[in-house]
Amino acid sequence: MFNIDNFLKSVDFFVTSHKNDLIIDKAEFKDNTPFIHIARPTGSRMITRSNFMDAAQRIIENPYGYTRVIFANVQNSELMQITYENQIHTLEFDTNERTPILIHYYNGKTVEQLSSITDLYAVVENWKHCAEYKIENALGFKL
């Protein structure tokens, strides 16, 4: 079984500043959920499938309500698209910096180190579709 502590210890050598990012990454990890992890010498970020599932649950609980996102309130019906755009932006921003990076993808069973984010666009798109399917099944209609 995958151990997030061991994984983060193995990445720790690469991150030379903002090591607290690894603690935040650990908090993002839920129940063996798939994730994408990007580490740079200046910190790290994690994108998880649970980001999408959490947004889906919020939409299911209140499809016409509002959620605070950074500095604004957004209608819950728009939350999935905003989650998707934020995750894609994270992929692109963190990998376009001119510093070395480590990219890992955990599919729920195995971790692999990747040399680029090319294949990860499809992964994030799939996570979005899974969350939308969950919403449609729960609500009985598409938002």
Instruction: Return all residues near 33 (Cβ < 8 A) that are at least 6 apart.
Output: 48, 49, 50, 53, 108
Q: Give the pLDDT score at 116.
A: 86
pTM, 2 dp = 0.89
Q: What local confidence, expressed as pLDDT, does residue 90 receive?
A: 87
Query: What secondary structure does DSSP assign to 6-62, as a single string?
Result: HHHHHHHTT--S-THHHHHHHHH--TT--EEEEEETTEEEEEEHHHHHHHHHHHHH-
One-letter amino acid of 49: R
What per-residue confidence (pLDDT) applies to 70?
76
Q: Residue 36 has what pLDDT?
A: 96
Which residues of the chain fall short of a pLDDT of 50? Answer: none
pLDDT value, residue 69: 80
